[in-house]
A and B are shown apart, each in its own frame.
Chain A
Amino acid sequence: TSAVMAAVCGRGLLAPLGGRLRTCPRAPLRSVAAAAAAPLYDVVVSGGGMVGSAMAAVLGHDIHFHDKKIALLEAGPRKEYDRMPDSYSNRVSSISPGSATLLSSFGAWDHVCSLRLKPFRRMQVWDACSEAMIVFEKDDLDDMGYIVENDVIMSALTKQLDAVADRVEVFYRSRAVGYTWPLPSHSCDTSPWVQIELADGRRLQTKLLIGADGHNSVVRKEAEIKNIEHRYDQSAVVATLHLAEATDNNVAWQRFLPTGPIALLPLSDTASSLVWSTSHEHALELLTMDEEGFVDSINSAFWSNVNHSDFIDTAGAMFRSAILLLKPSGTAVRQLPPSVAKVDPESRAVFPLGIGHATEYVQHRVALIGDAAHRVHPLAGQGVNLGFGDIACLAHHLSAAAFNGSDLGSLKHLLKFETERQRHNVSLIAATDVLKRLYSTRLAPLVLLRTWGLQATNALPPVKVRIL
């Protein structure tokens, strides 16, 4: 047939999938009979955090998945709130408008809005070692993003998973402990599906396994996908803070200190969330010091000019005058961040920071999304948004594949997802890493570089829009 002719031409010229198909089993093969007894799912999502749950929900609401069976495995218990507790949780995320669109596509955003969230319109980012500042805001003063507690997002996702319970089966308190990968289909007398073993001994089979199990992903490790990772010499301190006076609190503040960036994210007119990335020692100090001292440290971090040097100040001022000559609107009005009055007791916590990127996002019958595929510094507020972007892309390709009657685990469409997302993610993760390193120093030349860089960027709308 023409197809044979064509196949032959094609095969000689490329072998893109060759390396991704396994040639030998990793674990002893179970007998076909035993494997056949385990229930077979079309898609299993391993990891029920924000990204894993959203992935399962998106697929569950997809019309082309109407007759498919999806499972979500979550090691922890079910999380759902009808009303949020009065105090705010200390784990919050900055949700971009794109992520909000994804969440509203399957009805979750309505739940978020009915619980609580805080839109912000402006982002002011400035340096501790100079006067340089950059302000982000939309021309039409639309919402730039939303600060939402992670618990609120989880609750909204749980509700939407319930709505498609006939298609999506959620296994709470179920940790996957082992995965068995199939041999390439043509050499099969054994099951062509991925076998999953849970901690309680139950088994599942699936045509596609989606790993959404965080930066220490077991799926990624078991699939032997190489991960480029690096632990930063920084930890993040989070806390819920109460402001000295009520304000229109619709600005997100971030100041780059030599030890790391400190950010104040609005939660309400009187409360904000703290994310302070700093050295491990300082983080522990902050965690253990008394509440007054903690509040003083925060205020001083935002207001103190101790890191300024005359040289840098002069150089910065000169550059700013130059910009004003060339582009009179090129500098923005500097607003002053709110001052903090007290911290919520019990709300202080610390977690270590790092960067990571999987060399492959997909293999035969496996795909990684969210932190399992990439881990980034919180300074850009991107972490979960990258994960939601992964979901939108993967769901798009899986939906098309389902409508074509394709085998969902086929590398053909999985590779398209990988290419699209790696192209998007790699530059952002690299840029975040560069920023982190650039801002971790007091050295004059680098401070000057970043001062001028920041001032120039602030004056150039095209560059700013690209960052957004």
Chain B
Amino acid sequence: QLSLFRLTMKRLFSTSRSSVDSKEMKKFQLLAHKWWDEEGEYSALHSMNEIRVPFIRDTLLNMSSNYQLGSPLSGVKILDVGCGGGLLSEPLGRLGASVTGIDPLEDNIRTADQHKSFDPVLAKRIQYKSNSLEEIVEECMETFDVIIASEVVEHVADLEMFIKCCSQVLKPEGSLFITTINKTQLSYVLGIVVAEKIIGIVPEGTHEWEKFVSPEELEHLLESNGFSVKTVNGMLYNPFSGSWSWMENTSINYAMHAVKSGAQGLSSPTDTLSEMGSEQPSATAGTTV
């Protein structure tokens, strides 16, 4: 009862332009307890860690000169937006980062909190909050070194506002990592038709193709909001092996790394180096990680 009341209050007090879509929240409510079943509904998200964690880790290691043995992300403050049950927050915490995980759905946060509670190291390094991104902007201005929005932007109501909020809570020259689904015929066929309508295991309407974002559109939005896109890579899921791999083609899933411009708008030497690698005008060609 209490959580329903709080939810209603949040909706009343949030501005009409919120990044959280309440319809989307309802879909995830049903699966709030299934996050940590490695073989269940979220098994592909578990196996996605095998490529997205190294991607984040190596990108950050390349950009910094510190390396603490055994703790490659030590000292890095990360915001995991739409953290769900904490599937990505935990590995990043194990690598030494201080992680704040936010998710508008309280049940997700409850699951995440409970799961981390058994590991004293993680319990200290990770904080979960049941909030949307806009709600934390005021108290978290320029607080984080890194923001990760993995498998989130395709569920967001107002993408431009989401990106603006990311920019506000990110330190200058901080990194933004996004993984999401492209808006193409292929992603419609595989993501909607096959999964939802043919095999019929995903409840109809879980995905709305209209909300998928193409890398070109995303890059445009990022660049016009003070970000510089450094890397775009396509991702491919193999349902037989249950594993993900990188590919050049971004027609289905893809990952993007962008950096918020520095305080004076000057880019640092390390930025120039990685810019040389991704100077193609079209964002569909990816650089290999």
Contacts and interface: CB of A to CB of B under 8 A. Distances in A.
Given A14-B242, A66-B71, A4 B202 contact: yes
A67 interface: yes
Given A3-B45, A14-B240, A64 B40 contact: no
Interface string B78-95: 000000000000111111
Contacts of A21: 39
Interface in B199-236: 199, 201-202, 206-207
Contacts, number: 145
Contacts of A66: 69-71
B118 interface: yes
A10 B96 CA distance: 31
Nearest to B47: A412
Interface stretch (A168-176, A186-194, A347-355): A186-194
Interface in A404-443: 404-407, 410-412
A412 B47 CA distance: 9
A1 B33 contact: no
Contacts of A3: 42, 44-45, 48, 151
B43 A10 contact: yes
A185 B195 contact: no
Given A66-B71, A185-B115, A186-B35, A11 B240 contact: no
Contact of A65 (B34, B70, B91): B70
Given A63-B70, A67-B71, A5 B195 contact: yes
B19 to A, nearest CB: 16
A311 interface: no
Contacts of A7: 40-45
Interface string A42-71: 000000000000000000000111111000
B54 A68 contact: no
Interface in A1-52: 1-18, 21, 36, 40
A12 B40 CA distance: 10
A412 B91 CA distance: 14
A81 interface: no
Contacts of B54: 404
B168 interface: no
A10 B53 contact: no
A11 B43 contact: yes
Contact of B49 (A4, A6, A404): A404
Contacts of A4: 31, 41-42, 44-45, 202, 206
A165 to B, nearest CB: 16
Given A405-B53, A405-B90, A1 B45 contact: yes
B38 A404 contact: no
Interface in A368-409: 402-407
Contact of B39 (A1, A9, A11, A406): A11
A5 B191 contact: yes
Q: Which residue of A7, A8, A17, A191 has the most chain B CB atoms within 10 A of its CB atom?
A: A7
A97 interface: no
Nearest to A167: B70
A184 interface: yes
Contacts of A406: 49, 53, 91, 94
Interface of A: 1-18, 21, 36, 40, 63-68, 184-186, 188-189, 191-193, 402-407, 410-412
Which 9 A-B pairs give the minimum distances between C-beta atoms?
Answer: A66-B70, A405-B91, A6-B44, A5-B195, A186-B37, A7-B44, A9-B239, A405-B94, A67-B70
Given A8-B41, A9-B195, A186-B40, 20 more contacts: A1-B181, A2-B180, A2-B181, A2-B187, A3-B45, A4-B31, A4-B42, A5-B202, A7-B42, A7-B45, A9-B194, A10-B43, A10-B237, A10-B240, A12-B201, A13-B239, A40-B119, A188-B36, A188-B118, A404-B49
22 contacts: A2-B154, A2-B181, A2-B252, A3-B48, A4-B31, A4-B202, A5-B202, A6-B237, A7-B44, A10-B237, A12-B201, A15-B39, A18-B39, A185-B38, A186-B33, A186-B35, A186-B37, A404-B91, A405-B49, A405-B53, A405-B92, A405-B94
